[in-house]
Structure 1
Amino acid sequence: MNAKGKLIIIGGAVDKGNFTDEATLAKGVPNNLNFFETGILRRIINESAHHEESRIEVITTASVIPREVGPQYVKAFEYLRATNVGLLHIEKREQTRDPEVLDRIKNADVVMFTGGDQLRLTSILGGTKLHDIILDKFRHEDFIYAGTSAGAAAASNNMIYQGSSHEALLKGEVKITSGLGLIQSVIIDTHFVQRGRIGRLFQAVVGNPRVLGIGLGEDTGLLITSDCKMEAIGSGLVILVDGRNVMDTNLTQVEMGRPISINNLVVHVMSMYDTYDLKSHTMEIHNSQYHIPLTAPAEADDDVPQMKSEDLE
C-alpha cells in the first residue's frame, strides 16, 4: 500500500455503546469497557493525527437513512471525548463540487464512511474532486480513511456489490465492479460471519487469485498501515482467503448458474491483535499457543544427569 495514511475497514454493526444519554452512560460504564478501551471507534481516535482533537467528518452517502445514522456516530465519538466531529450528508454528485464540502474534506484528519449501499457510495463519489482529495490526502498525509460495511467494501480497487449468500458459489451470482481504489490487490466483504458470505469471497478470489479476499465480521475490522501490515481490531473475526496456490477450478468450463469447484484454496482466521503482512503473506497470531515466552523455565532433560543436593555441599 503506497500511502502515508491509514485505512480502517470495519465489517458493520460497529459498537457505538449501548447507552443513549448521560444518566444511562453513568450506569452503563462497567458494561461498556470494550467500547471505551478497545473498541474500534476508540482505535480510530488513537490512530488519528491529533487524537481527541482530530477533525472527523462522518459521511453518510451510502445510507438511505443518513439523518438517523449520522448522529449516532457523532454521539459515540463525543462519549469518547472526540468533539470535533462533523456530518456530511452528500446525496448528489453536484454536492461533491461544493467549495464548503471540499474545504471540510481538505481539513479533515479522518473521514468515516457509514454503512448502506456501496454502489450508491461509489456512483455518487467516484471520479469527483472530493474523491481525488481523499485519495491525495490518503497517499501523502497522516490521514485516516475509515469505513464500515459499505464504506469498507468500497475502499478497495475491486468491490463486491451484489450476490446472495446461499447462491454465492454458483457461477455468475457474485457481481464485482470498481471501488474507490485506496488499496489494491484485495477485495472486501462485510457482515461476513453473520450473513454466511464465505461463498461470495471464494468466487471473487477464484476469478482472480492474485487478489486477497478479506471477510470482515461485525464490530470487527482491520487497521492497515503504510508498511502493508494489517492488524485485526474489534470483537469478532476476520477471514482471509488466499487464492495464490489454487491448483484447479472448473470456473471457465461450467455454464452460468452452475456450481464452482476449487482445489487448494487457503483460508486464515484472525482475531484481535493478530497481524498479517500483505508483502510476505505471513500471519502472526498474537496469543499463539506455540509461542514460548522468553522467561519460560527450561524443562529438565531426562537424559542429562540432574544435580543433587549433596553436590552443592
Structure 2
Amino acid sequence: MNIRGKLIIIGGAVDKGSFTETNLDANVANNLNFFETGILKRILNESKNKIDSRIEVITTASKIPREIGPEYVKAFNYLGAKNVDVLHIEKREQATSQEVLDRVKAADVLIFTGGDQLRLTSILGGTEFHDLILDKYHNEDFIYAGTSAGAAAASNTMIYQGSSSEALLKGEVKITSGLGLIDGVIIDTHFVQRGRIGRLFQAVVGNPKVLGIGLGEDTGLLITNNEKMEAIGSGLVILVDGREIKDTNLTQVEMGQPISINHLVTHVMSKYDTFDLKTHKMNIQSSQYADELKMLSDD
C-alpha cells in the first residue's frame, strides 16, 4: 500500500528545549537546541506548504495542556511558521465535534505533545477524529508528528507502563493498542535519559516480529511510506530486532522473575542514518567503509 502521509516520531526534549523562559531572544541559542537541530524545522520542511502549512498542536496527552500548547506555537513561530494553533481535546465528545473535525481536515500537520499516551488512546481511540487522521495519513500529503507520548501512541502496539529499573522482570512492561498509524513496530521514548532499553527488550521478546524503536531525547525518526526510516535530531535511536532470537526463558519463569534472552540484535542510528523496514537493513550515512562501498557500486 502506498501511504502518502509522513510520520515523524520524537523521543522528547531535555529541559534546555523549553520556551518557557520569559527572555526568549536572549536565551535562544540554548532554547533552540531541540528545535533547530532538525526536529521542528524538519517538520516544516517536510510539510505540504512549508512555513505556510496549517499546523495544529494536539495537547490531549498532557496534564498541563494550557502551558504546553503555547510553547509549541512560540517554537514554530520562531522558525517562521505562520499558521499554527492549539487544539485542546480533553473529552471523547470533543473528538467528534464538527469544529474539531473541520480543523483537522484543514490541517497539513498535526503534532501530538508529550504526556500520557494512555490519555491519547482512551480519549481519541475509535472516534471520528481517530478515523480522520488515519484517512489523512494514508491518502493525503499530511504529517503526523508526535513527541514522547505522541510518538509512543503512533504504532499499532503501544507501551503504556513499565518500570525502567525492573523492566526485565516478567510482566513489568504493560502493552496495549495504539493509534495504529504504523504496524510492525513498538516505540519507546526518553530512551537514553531514562534507561528504558529493558522495557523494549521485554516488549520485543514477547513478539519478536515487532521491531523495537527506542528514541533518545532531542531525537526522532522520519518515516515515509511506513518503510524508510531516517534518524533526525541530535541524539540516538536504538533499534531492537528480535527475529533472530535463539532462546528465552520467557514462558518458563513466573511473573516478576528475570527474563533471559539469547541473541537479540540491536542497531544504533544517529542523524541521517536510514533503516528499511521491509529488508531490515540499516545504512550508516558516514560509514567508515563508504569509499569501499562506493567502489563496489561503481564496479
The AA in structure 1 aligned to 2:217 is E
Q: CA offset at residue 60 of structure 1?
A: 0.2
- Structure 1 residues 28, 103: CA separation in 2 closer, same or farther (over 3 Å shift)? same
Give 1:35 deviation, angstroms. 5.6
Partner of 2:291: 292
Equivalent runs, 1:186-265 vs 2, <5 Å: 186-226=185-225, 228-265=227-264
Count of aligned pairs: 294
Task: Quote the Cα distance in structure 2 between the aligned partners of 1:98 and 1:203.
Answer: 39
**Contact 1:57 1:88 survives alignment (8 Å):** yes
Tell me the distance in 2 between the aligned counterparts of 1:31 and 1:168: 33
Question: Which residue identity is paired with 1:63?
Answer: S
Q: Distance in 2 between matches of 1:32 and 1:66?
A: 20
Please list the CA deviations of residues 88-138 of structure 1 after superposition, one character each: whole Å capped at 9, or x if unmatched: 110000101110100000000000000000001100000000000000000
Which residue does the alignment assign to 1:91? 90
- The one-letter amino acid of 2:286's match is N
**Corresponding position of 2:3:** 3
Q: State the alpha-carbon separation in 1 of the partners of residues 157 and 151 from structure 2.
A: 12
User: Are the counterparts in 2 of residues 189 and 215 from structure 1 also a CA contact under 8 Å?
Assistant: yes
Q: Does 1:109 align with 2:108?
A: yes
Structure 2 counterparts to residues 264-279 of structure 1, below 5 A: 264-279=263-278
Distance in 2, matches of 1:20 and 1:163, equals 32
The SS at the match of 2:102 is helix
Cα contact 1:19–1:28 (8 A) shared by 2: no
- Separation of aligned partners in 1, 2:194 and 2:34: 23
After superposition, what is the alpha-carbon deviation per residue over 1:123-155, rounded to whole angstroms, capped at 9, x for unaligned?
Answer: 000000000000000000000000000000000
By how many angstroms is 1:291 displaced? 1.1
Tell me if structure 2 keeps the 8 A contact 1:250–1:261: yes
* RMSD value, Cα: 2.0
Paired AA for residue 4 in structure 2: K
Counterpart AA for 1:48: S
Counting only pairs closer than 5 Å after superposition, residues 19-98 of structure 1 correspond to structure 2 as 20=21, 24-25=24-25, 27-28=26-27, 37-98=36-97
- SS of 1:176 mapped into structure 2: strand
In the TM superposition, structure 1's runs of 4+ consecutive aligned residues that sit over 3 Å from their partners are: 14-21, 27-38, 293-296
Which residue number corresponds to residue 121 of structure 1?
120
- The normalised TM-score by structure 1 is 0.89
Counterpart amino acid of 1:213? G
Secondary structure of the residue that 1:76 maps to in structure 2? helix
CA distance in 2, matches of 1:271, 1:17: 23
Post-superposition shift, 1:174?
A: 0.3
3-state DSSP class of the match of 2:291? coil
1:156 aligned counterpart, secondary structure: coil
Q: Give the C-alpha shift of residue 39 in structure 1.
A: 2.4
Q: Partner of 1:163 in structure 2?
A: 162
Gaps of 5+ in 1: 297-313
Cα distance in 1 for partners of 2:251, 2:224 equals 36
Contact 1:242 1:266 in 2 (8 A): yes
Name the CA shift for 1:126/1:278 in 2 (closer, same or farther; >3 Å): same
Equivalence for 1:311:
none
Percentage of matched positions with identical amino acids: 76
Question: What's the offset of the Cα at 1:289?
Answer: 1.3
Contact conserved, 2:19 with 2:74, CA < 8 A, in 1?
A: no
Under a length normalisation based on structure 2, what TM-score does the superposition of the two structures give?
Answer: 0.93
Deviates more, 1:64-73 or 1:35-44: 35-44
Offset at residue 19 of structure 1 (A): 7.9
Partners of 2:232 and 2:270 within 8 A in 1: yes
Kept in 2, the 8 Å contact 1:6–1:224? The answer is yes
TM-aligned CA deviation for residue 38 of structure 1: 3.5
Q: Which residue identity is paired with 1:223?
A: L
- 2:12 paired residue number: 12
The one-letter amino acid paired with 1:5 is G
